[in-house]
Amino acid sequence: MAARTDLAEWKALEVHAHDAASAHIRDLVRDEGEERLSWTAASAAGLNLDVSKNRIDKNTLHLLIALAKACDLEGWRDRMVAGDRINTSENRAVSHMALRGGASPHGDEIQQAKAHMLKFVRDIQEGRLTSATGKPFTAVVNIGIGGSDLGPRLAADALRPDWSGGITPHFVANVDAAELARVLEEIDAETTLFIVTSKTFTTQETLRNAQTAREWLTQHLPDGAEIDKQFAAVTSNRSEALLFGVSANSIFDFWDWVGGRYSVWSSVGLALALAIGVENFETFLAGAAEMDQHFLHAPLAENVPVLLALIGVWNRNFLGLQGLAILPYDQSLSLLPSYLQQLDMESNGKQTGRDGARTAWDTGPLVFGAAGTTGQHAFYQWLHQGTDMAASEIILVLNARHEIEAHQDILLAHGIAQGEALAFGRNETATRAELANSGLNPEEITALLPHRTFAGNRPVSTIVMDRLCPRRLGALLAMYEHKVFSQGVIWNINSFDQWGVELGKSLAGHVLDAMNKGGADAGFDPSTRALVKRVVDARGRANR
Ligand code: F6P
């Protein structure tokens, strides 16, 4: 297969980028006027995408679509749906779409697992399943990390207005016991269910937290209480869950063809379903399914996830931007940047192509962000005037789900204005006029001018939805999954493995071993040995 950079379509984009180097988004938008909105907007499943504030013209999009076709995006998409083992380095299919209703050879087992999970949710919510002391459950703690945490944690937080059935969700991921300790302070041992969520059931952080939770329950429940009644497990490693002491009926399956960061739709969503109830969980899946249908059938030029992906490729590979800021103007989505860090960076943060060769082109961006407006008072200075440039994705939710009316217009005004400021900036003439209006004298104006001018030309894509509900959230997360997938195809990488996280994990085992032996390990480099020694010495002092 030709290297991406050798494709005629890639070269055409390079030439186009060279020609467009001096273009400013301000001029592109002003010169084209309303007409620009006709080809820079697309919508699906209640989400409206606007890419007009990007450094693109019609030809850019045309060339990007040609590149997507040359990379056989549609073919890879069909192969994913057909259940081909497109995760080649792990020899696995990639079938998370089947979890929300897509056709799949696994249809029966999906339905069985879902029925099992949803019955469990109903039994808990309706008090048929009770705790070791016979009390109804009032809280659930999901113990898991990465894909076994971020999806349900984000969705449960985003859908707080949909909590129903009286079960409060909590999440513990970090092996730092401070997180678990904080949750333990908030819950009642007699009415809390712990779910150990781990696809592999080998993840050290999760197993350590689960063991501590078990010890805590043992201390806080009456002697002889059946602690197993307060544990469930979500895993593809049933035998290890059984060994941990979870009863067979409380083990919920998921499969190797569901990647961890694509798994919130599976039984990994158990804590979420317990919080929001069966109907809302089904609606969440339905929103994602609606986006799936759009992704599978809409023409590329009108395909929301594909458009967003192509704009990302343009910004990354042809404008050379390394960063992507995720800026949700809705506090309910404050965890979205963390969720997307895993979805995007664990999927596409790779330098080895499908063919095993080092890619000669850049791949996934550095993803960061925070809920607006809080981020504005932190890193936006860098976004507007830093020496590097990042693209931004601004998410606007028109209607809040709380009753306090006075804030929403302020919030939305900020979101819209930030897009305007990033893309258009403020040139010297406008800045001079502004400063003159504020009563400064000419010398003061001249001195301040370079500080107060904004170069702009920072690309911004805007996603607008009417409100954040289970359906829209499902659609939003599915949109991002398909965006990441589409970019992975164009970059010719496998978006579904994550070998880059393995080295640190295995070294941690080595370091821990050395600590347990009092720091003795001849194999460490001097720098690492000194750090290990510091820990061992500090522990020694603390133990005295
Ligand atoms: O961070 C690496 C990783 O393997 C993720 O891909 C995964 O989501 C996470 O660890 C948790 O893995 P598990 O569900 O097997 O505990």
DSSP string across 299-357 = -GGG-HHHHHHHHHHIIIIIS---EEEEEEESGGGTTHHHHHIIIIIIHH---B-TTSS
The residue behind tokens 């909105």 is 37
Check if 470 has its Cβ closer than 6 Å to any atom of ligand 1. no
Same domain, 522 and 407: no
Q: What number of residues does the chain have?
A: 544
Strand partners, 53: 460
Same domain, 46 and 101: no
| Among 60, 80, 72, 12, residue whose Cα is nearest residue 495 | 80
Residues sharing a CB contact under 8 Å with residue 223, sequence separation 6 or more, in sequence order: none
Is residue 10 one of the residues assigned to a domain?
Answer: no
- The C-alpha atoms of residue 418 and residue 105 are separated, in whole angstroms, by 46
Check if 210 has its Cβ closer than 6 Å to any atom of ligand 1. no
- The C-alpha atoms of residue 487 and residue 330 are separated, in whole angstroms, by 26
The residue nearest atom 13 of ligand 1, judged by CA position, is 198
Same domain, 239 and 123: yes
Is residue 8 one of the residues assigned to a domain?
Answer: no
Is residue 7 one of the residues assigned to a domain?
Answer: no
- The C-alpha atoms of residue 137 and residue 134 are separated, in whole angstroms, by 9
- The C-alpha atoms of residue 139 and residue 366 are separated, in whole angstroms, by 36
Mutate to test the pocket of ligand 1, among 96, 195, 199 (most ligand atoms within 8 A of CB): 199
* Phi, psi for 497 (deg, rounded to 5): -105, 180
* Phi, psi for 326 (deg, rounded to 5): -105, 115
For the CA of 147, the closest atom of ligand 1 is 8
CATH of the domain at 275: 3.40.50.10490
Cα 495 to middle of ligand 1, angstroms: 14
Question: What is the pLDDT at residue 2?
Answer: 78
For the CA of 261, the closest atom of ligand 1 is 8
Same domain, 402 and 524: no
Question: What is the pLDDT at residue 542?
Answer: 63
Is residue 260 one of the residues assigned to a domain?
Answer: yes
| Among 393, 399, 450, 389, residue whose Cα is nearest residue 418 | 393
Tell me if 269 sits within 8 A of 155, measured CB to CB.
Answer: yes
Is residue 11 one of the residues assigned to a domain?
Answer: no
The alpha carbon dihedral of 187, 189, 191, 192 has a sign of positive
Check if 447 has its Cβ closer than 6 Å to any atom of ligand 1. no
Same domain, 345 and 479: yes
State the 10-residue block means of pLDDT for the chain, 544 residues long.
92 95 94 96 98 97 98 97 94 94 85 96 96 97 98 98 95 98 98 98 97 97 95 97 96 94 98 98 98 97 98 98 98 98 98 96 98 96 97 97 93 98 97 95 96 98 98 98 98 96 94 90 90 91 61
- The helices-and-strands tally (H runs, E runs) of the chain is 21, 11
Question: What is the pLDDT at residue 522?
Answer: 74
Same domain, 484 and 537: no
DSSP state of 105: T
Residues sharing a CB contact under 8 Å with residue 78, sequence separation 6 or more, in sequence order: none
Mutate to test the pocket of ligand 1, among 148, 174, 342 (most ligand atoms within 8 A of CB): 148
Cα 531 to middle of ligand 1, angstroms: 27
Is residue 6 one of the residues assigned to a domain?
Answer: no
Check if 520 has its Cβ closer than 6 Å to any atom of ligand 1. no
- The C-alpha atoms of residue 319 and residue 458 are separated, in whole angstroms, by 11
Question: What is the pLDDT at residue 254?
Answer: 87
Same domain, 345 and 466: yes
Question: What is the pLDDT at residue 416?
Answer: 98
Check if 259 has its Cβ closer than 6 Å to any atom of ligand 1. no
Tell me if 47 sits within 8 A of 328, measured CB to CB.
Answer: no
Residue 495, CA distances (Å) to 32, 81, 99, 262, 276 in order = 37, 15, 19, 11, 30
Check if 415 has its Cβ closer than 6 Å to any atom of ligand 1. no
Same domain, 492 and 504: no
Same domain, 134 and 271: yes
> In the chain, how many domains are there?
3
User: What residues act catalytically?
Assistant: 346, 377, 505
Check if 363 has its Cβ closer than 6 Å to any atom of ligand 1. no
Same domain, 179 and 236: yes
| Among 412, 411, 394, 416, residue whose Cα is nearest residue 462 | 394
Cα 260 to middle of ligand 1, angstroms: 6
Residue 165, CA distances (Å) to 160, 271, 273, 370 in order = 12, 12, 10, 30
Question: What is the pLDDT at residue 66?
Answer: 98
Please state whether beta strands 41-44 and 47-53 pair in parallel, antiparallel, or not at all (unpaired).
antiparallel
pLDDT tens digits along 417-476:
999 999 999 999 999 999 999 999 999 999 999 999 999 999 999 999 999 999 999 999
- The C-alpha atoms of residue 116 and residue 541 are separated, in whole angstroms, by 51
Same domain, 479 and 524: no
Check if 87 has its Cβ closer than 6 Å to any atom of ligand 1. no
Is residue 292 one of the residues assigned to a domain?
Answer: no
Domain end (from 251, 283, 315): 283
Is residue 419 one of the residues assigned to a domain?
Answer: yes
The residue nearest atom 10 of ligand 1, judged by CA position, is 146
Question: What is the pLDDT at residue 445?
Answer: 97
- The C-alpha atoms of residue 393 and residue 416 are separated, in whole angstroms, by 12
Same domain, 156 and 276: yes
* Domain residue limits at 77: 27-86+298-497
| Among 480, 454, 485, residue whose Cα is nearest residue 25 | 454
Q: Structure pTM?
A: 0.97
Cα 113 to middle of ligand 1, angstroms: 21
Where helices occur in 172-297 by DSSP H, the ranges are 177-186, 204-220, 238-244, 270-297
Tell me if 102 sits within 8 A of 82, measured CB to CB.
Answer: no
